[in-house]
C-alpha cells in the first residue's frame, strides 16, 4: 500500500508542476443523457452542462473505442457535499467544457450501483488513505483507475483535469504503469485467505476482542471516541447481546449509555422522529441532516431489543416515533420504502441550506410555545448547550425524565402530555417549511432491512400494524422484485426494476423472510429463503474462500469482483449470509449450509482479532457457537400465542419453528399431539422433554 501511496504522491507532484495548457479542438458531440434515468440522484444532474452518461456497457464501450479517459463521479441524493460540488463545478460552463472535451463523464448513484462504488472507493482509499462522497475518479478507457479523491473546489478540480489530460496525451505510459500497480492493490484488498487451523470458537476470543475494542469506547457520550460519530447499530446490537447473554455488567452500562445518548442527541429528530445519518460532534448534537432508510431500519431493531431487555420507556418512544416517521415520510402507497431524505432544504428565501428544515431560532420557539417555552427550553436545551451556529438551535436532551419532573414538580404523565403537545405544535409549524428532497427509489436490500425492523418491533410490542407493514413490503418483493430465474432485482422506480441484485439484496431479504416466518409461521417465507439461498450458491459462491462475491456471475465485469465481508454502517452481506446459513441449516437439517457458515466465520477469524469493531456481526454469529444455540419448536393449535409469549423475553440464542398442525419439517416431524400445544427446547436436534408452559421453556433455555 505504501508503494502505491508513494507513487500517487509523485504523480500528483508531477501533475501540479506541469504548466502547459490542453488543446480544446474537440467539439461537444454529445448531450447529458441522465434525463433518461430513474434515479433521483442522476436526475438531479440531468440538466448540468456536463455531458453525463450512466454507467453501462454502451458507455464503457464508447470510452474504449474513443480511447478517452473516463471521469467517474459517484454520489447519492441525500449527500450535502455532492450538491456543493455540483453547484460549484458541474453547473459551471467552463468546467463542463474541459470535462466534455477530454473525458467520457459518468455519473453513478452509489445506492443503485454499490458494486461500482465499492471498486472505486477502494482505489481512492489506497491512493489517499481516506474516502467519502462525492467520490471522483479518473480511469483509463478500460475502467482501471489512475487518480481519485472526494470533494474538490472548482479551481482545484479544473487544475487536476487539465494536468491529467496532459499526462495522458504526452506520457500515457505513466498512467498505464500506475494503473497496473493500483489494480493489483485493489484486488489484494478483498483477498480472504483460507484459515487452515482447526475450527475452535471460544468465548475467550470474544472477550479479548471486546477488550481491545473497549479502549475506543466513549464512556461519557457513548459510541466510540471522537467525531464524527456514526450510530453503528450492528456494533451495539452485538455488544448488547454479549452484555446481557453473558452478564457483563460494565458492558451493559456502556451499551445503555450509548443508546440513551443517541436518543437524547440532535441526531434523533425530536419533532418528527427518525435518525439522521451521523453526528458531526462527539455528543450526538449536530447531525449531518440526511435521513437514510437503512439507519432507521436497523435502529428500530436495536431499540426494540433494548426495550425488551430494560423496559426503558425512552427506547419504546424512539421505536414508535421512528416508525411514525417511516410511515409518513418514506413509505409508498404500494408498501415500498423510499431511500432517503436530503440533508439540504430550502430556506424561506429559496436557497438550499443544510439542516434548514430542522433547526429553530429561540424567538421563533418563544412565539410558538408561549408560556410553555421556559420548560421546553430547559428540556431540549435551547441554551448554550443546544446552540449550533447562526443563532440556530438543534434540539438535544441532557436529563432523564425522572430528574426533570422533580425540578418542575410534574408527574410523568404531565410531562408526557407536554411533550406530545410540543411535538404536535412544532410538527405543524415545521410542515409549513420547504421539505427536504426525497429520494423515492426503492432498494431491495434496504427494504428488507426495514421489513426486519418492523418485524422486530412487532415481536417486542405486539402491534399488528407493524406486522402488516412488513408483510405488505415482503409481498411486494416476491411479486415485483423476484425475477423469472429465481433471482432478485436490486432497484424499483417508476414501475420498473432494472438492476440485477447484489449479494446484499439476497442476504437482507433472506434474513427478513426468516424473521417473518418465525413471527407468522407462514412457511412460504421459509421456503423462499431456502430457494434464494440456493440461487446465491449458484451465482455468487467463491469455492476458494468459501465466501460469496458481491456481484452475480451474470453481471458485467468490473476492475475486480469484490467480496464484501467487513461490517460497516450496515452489516456485511457475507456476515448476514453466514448467519442465514446457520439458521437454515437447522430448519432444513442441511449440513452443507452448516459447514459453509462455520467455514466462512473461521476464515475471517484472523482479521477479527485485528479489527474487532469491523466484524461485529461476525462476532454476533460466533456467540451462536460459543453459547448454546437453541431450536425451539412449538407445535399445536395455540402455537402463535405461545410464540408471542416467548417473544416477551430477550432470547438472542434461539430460532423458532412452529406449526398448528402436523408438519414434516425436520424439527417438527412426529411432534404434533392432537388438542395440546407443546414446546420442544433442543440443541443440535437433541431435545429436552416437551413442556406446555412458556415459563418452563424459558427455564430450559436459561
499 CA to centre of own chain: 19
Distance separating alpha carbons of residues 591 and 454, to the nearest angstrom = 31
- Find the CATH number of the domain harbouring 243: 1.50.10.10
In a domain, 473, yes or no: yes
Please indicate, yes or no, whether residues 450 and 463 belong to a single structural domain of this protein.
yes
Please indicate, yes or no, whether residues 208 and 320 belong to a single structural domain of this protein.
yes
Distance separating alpha carbons of residues 379 and 386, to the nearest angstrom = 10
416 CA to centre of own chain: 32
Please indicate, yes or no, whether residues 379 and 458 belong to a single structural domain of this protein.
no
Distance separating alpha carbons of residues 542 and 419, to the nearest angstrom = 54
Given 432, 465, 480, which residue is the final one in a domain? 432
Given 406, 432, 458, which residue is the final one in a domain? 432
Average predicted confidence (pLDDT) for the chain: 94
Please indicate, yes or no, whether residues 424 and 537 belong to a single structural domain of this protein.
no
Number of domains in the chain: 4
Model-level pTM? 0.94
Please indicate, yes or no, whether residues 275 and 261 belong to a single structural domain of this protein.
yes
In a domain, 399, yes or no: yes
Residue 16 pLDDT: 41
In a domain, 487, yes or no: yes
Grid coordinates in use for 520? 407468522
Please indicate, yes or no, whether residues 120 and 219 belong to a single structural domain of this protein.
no
Residue 190 pLDDT: 82
List pLDDT tens digits, range 396-432.
999 999 999 999 999 999 999 999 999 999 999 999 9
Q: Are 80 and 343 in contact (CB under 8 A)?
A: yes
Distance separating alpha carbons of residues 665 and 523, to the nearest angstrom = 10
In a domain, 545, yes or no: yes
Q: What is the dihedral of CA 243, 453, 655, 531, to 10 degrees?
A: -140
Which SS3 state, helix, strand or coil, does residue 631 take? strand
Q: Which residues contact 462 (CB under 8 A, 6 or more apart)?
A: 644, 647
Please indicate, yes or no, whether residues 80 and 163 belong to a single structural domain of this protein.
yes
pLDDT tier for residue 685 given thresholds of 50, 70 and 90: confident
Please indicate, yes or no, whether residues 393 and 316 belong to a single structural domain of this protein.
no
pLDDT tier for residue 5 given thresholds of 50, 70 and 90: very low
pLDDT tier for residue 30 given thresholds of 50, 70 and 90: low
Residue 179 pLDDT: 94
Q: Which residues contact 557 (CB under 8 A, 6 or more apart)?
A: none
**φ/ψ bin of 338: left (φ > 0), alpha (ψ from -120 to 50), beta (otherwise):** beta
Given 161, 189, 217, which residue is the final one in a domain? 189
pLDDT tier for residue 20 given thresholds of 50, 70 and 90: very low
Distance separating alpha carbons of residues 453 and 295, to the nearest angstrom = 10
Q: Is 259 exposed, middle or buried (0-12, 13-18, 19+ CB in 10 A)?
A: buried
Please indicate, yes or no, whether residues 581 and 641 belong to a single structural domain of this protein.
no
pLDDT tier for residue 56 given thresholds of 50, 70 and 90: very high
Summarize the confidence of residues 72-80 as an average pLDDT: 94
Question: What domain range includes position 562?
Answer: 203-343+439-626
In a domain, 195, yes or no: no
- Find the CATH number of the domain harbouring 115: 3.40.30.10
Residue 393 pLDDT: 98
In a domain, 353, yes or no: no
Please indicate, yes or no, whether residues 385 and 466 belong to a single structural domain of this protein.
no
Please indicate, yes or no, whether residues 218 and 169 belong to a single structural domain of this protein.
no
List pLDDT tens digits, range 318-354.
999 999 999 999 999 999 999 999 999 999 999 999 9
Percentage of residues in the chain with pLDDT exceeding 90?
93
Q: Are 461 and 513 in contact (CB under 8 A)?
A: no
Please name the residue ranges forming H helices in 227-338. 233-245, 249-264, 293-310, 313-329
User: What does the DSSP 8-state code read for residue 398?
Assistant: -
Q: Indicate the length of the chain as a whole number.
A: 702
In this predicted structure, the answer to whether residue 554 has a pLDDT above a threshold of 60 is: yes
In a domain, 351, yes or no: no
In this predicted structure, the answer to whether residue 684 has a pLDDT above a threshold of 90 is: no
pLDDT tier for residue 3 given thresholds of 50, 70 and 90: very low
In a domain, 198, yes or no: no
Summarize the confidence of residues 591-600 as an average pLDDT: 98
Q: What is the dihedral of CA 148, 154, 158, 161, to 10 degrees?
A: 20
Residue 191 pLDDT: 84
Residue 6 pLDDT: 42
Please indicate, yes or no, whether residues 449 and 373 belong to a single structural domain of this protein.
no
List pLDDT tens digits, range 91-128.
999 999 999 999 999 999 999 999 999 999 999 999 99
Given the C-alpha cell 456476515, which residue does it identify? 575
Amino acid at each position: 500500500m505504501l508503494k502505491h501511496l508513494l507513487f500517487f504522491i509523485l504523480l500528483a507532484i508531477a501533475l501540479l508542476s506541469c504548466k502547459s495548457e490542453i488543446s480544446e479542438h474537440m467539439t461537444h458531440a454529445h448531450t447529458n443523457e441522465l434525463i433518461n434515468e430513474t434515479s433521483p440522484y442522476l436526475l438531479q444532474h440531468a440538466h448540468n452542462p456536463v455531458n453525463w452518461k450512466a454507467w453501462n456497457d454502451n458507455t464503457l464501450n464508447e470510452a474504449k473505442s474513443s480511447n478517452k479517459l473516463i471521469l467517474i463521479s459517484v454520489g447519492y441524493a441525500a449527500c450535502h457535499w455532492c450538491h456543493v460540488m455540483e453547484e460549484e463545478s458541474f453547473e459551471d460552463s467552463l468546467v463542463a467544457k474541459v470535462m466534455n472535451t477530454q473525458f467520457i463523464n459518468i455519473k453513478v448513484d452509489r445506492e443503485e450501483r454499490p458494486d461500482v462504488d465499492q471498486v472505486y472507493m477502494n482505489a481512492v482509499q489506497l491512493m489517499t488513505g481516506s474516502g467519502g462522497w462525492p467520490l471522483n475518479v479518473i480511469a483509463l478507457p478500460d475502467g482501471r483507475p489512475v487518480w481519485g479523491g472526494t470533494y474538490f473546489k472548482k479551481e482545484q478540480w479544473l487544475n487536476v483535469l487539465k494536468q491529467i489530460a496532459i499526462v495522458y496525451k504526452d506520457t500515457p505510459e505513466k498512467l498505464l504503469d500506475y494503473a497496473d500497480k493500483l489494480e493489483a492493490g485493489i484486488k489484494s484488498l478483498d483477498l480472504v485467505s483460507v484459515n487452515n487451523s482447526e475450527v475452535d470458537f471460544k468465548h475467550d476470543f470474544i472477550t479479548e476482542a471486546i477488550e481491545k475494542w473497549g479502549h475506543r469506547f466513549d464512556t461519557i457520550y457513548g459510541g466510540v471516541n471522537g467525531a464524527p460519530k456514526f450510530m453503528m447499530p450492528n456494533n451495539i446490537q452485538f455488544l448488547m447481546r454479549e452484555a446481557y447473554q453473558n452478564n457483563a455488567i460494565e458492558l451493559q452500562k456502556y451499551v445503555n449509555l450509548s443508546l440513551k445518548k443517541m436518543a437524547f442527541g440532535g441526531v434523533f429528530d425530536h419533532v418528527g422522529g427518525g435518525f439522521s445519518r451521523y453526528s458531526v460532534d462527539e455528543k450526538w448534537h449536530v447531525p449531518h441532516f440526511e435521513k437514510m432508510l437503512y439507519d432507521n431500519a436497523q435502529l428500530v431493531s436495536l431499540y426494540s431489543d433494548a426495550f425488551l431487555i430494560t423496559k426503558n420507556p425512552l427506547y419504546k418512544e424512539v421505536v414508535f416515533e421512528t416508525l411514525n416517521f417511516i410511515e409518513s415520510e418514506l413509505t409508498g402507497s404500494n408498501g415500498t420504502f423510499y431511500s432517503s431524505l436530503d440533508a439540504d432544504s430550502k430556506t424561506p428565501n429559496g436557497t438550499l441550506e443544510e439542516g434548514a428544515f430542522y433547526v429553530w431560532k429561540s424567538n421563533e420557539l418563544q412565539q410558538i410555545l408561549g408560556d410553555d417555552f421556559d420548560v421546553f427550553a430547559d428540556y431540549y436545551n435551547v441554551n448554550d448547550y443546544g446552540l449550533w451556529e447562526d443563532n440556530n438551535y438543534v434540539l438535544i436532551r441532557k436529563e432523564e425524565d425522572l430528574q426533570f419532573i422533580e425540578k418542575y414538580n410534574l408527574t410523568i404523565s404531565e410531562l408526557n402530555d407536554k411533550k406530545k403537545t410540543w411535538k404536535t405544535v412544532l410538527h405543524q409549524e415545521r410542515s409549513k417549511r420547504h421539505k427536504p428532497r426525497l429520494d423515492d427509489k426503492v432498494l431491495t436490500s434496504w427494504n428488507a432491512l426495514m421489513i426486519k425492523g418492523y418485524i422486530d418491533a412487532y415481536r417486542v410490542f405486539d402491534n399488528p400494524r407493524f406486522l402488516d407493514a412488513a408483510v405488505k413490503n415482503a409481498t411486494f418483493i416476491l411479486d415485483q422484485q423476484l425475477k423469472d430465474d429465481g433471482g432478485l432485482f436490486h432497484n424499483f422506480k417508476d414501475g420498473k426494476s432494472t438492476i440485477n441484485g447484489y449479494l446484499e439484496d439476497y442476504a437482507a431479504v433472506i434474513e427478513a423472510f426468516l424473521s417473518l416466518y418465525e413471527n407468522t409461521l407462514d412457511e412460504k417465507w421459509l421456503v423462499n429463503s431456502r430457494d434464494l439461498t440456493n440461487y446465491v450458491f449458484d451465482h455468487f459462491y467463491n469455492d476458494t474462500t468459501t465466501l460469496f462475491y458481491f456481484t452475480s456471475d451474470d453481471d458485467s465485469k468490473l476492475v475486480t469482483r469484490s467480496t464484501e465481508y467487513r461490517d460497516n454502517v450496515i452489516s456485511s452481506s457475507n456476515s448476514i449470509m453466514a448467519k442465514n446459513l446457520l439458521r437454515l441449516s437447522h430448519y432444513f437439517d442441511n449440513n452443507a449450509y452448516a459447514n459453509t457458515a462455520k467455514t466462512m466465520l473461521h476464515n475471517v477469524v484472523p482479521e477479527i482479532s485485528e479489527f474487532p469493531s469491523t466484524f461485529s456481526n461476525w462476532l454476533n454469529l460466533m456467540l451462536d457457537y460459543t453459547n448454546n444455540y437453541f431450536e425451539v419448536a412449538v407445535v399445536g393449535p395455540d402455537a402463535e400465542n405461545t410464540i408471542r409469549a416467548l417473544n416477551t423475553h430477550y432470547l438472542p440464542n434461539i430460532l423458532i419453528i412452529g406449526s398448528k398442525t402436523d408438519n414434516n419439517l425436520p424439527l417438527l416431524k412426529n411432534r404434533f399431539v392432537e388438542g395440546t400445544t407443546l414446546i420442544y427446547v433442543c440443541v443440535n436436534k437433541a431435545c429436552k422433554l416437551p413442556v406446555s408452559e412458556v415459563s418452563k421453556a424459558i427455564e430450559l433455555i436459561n
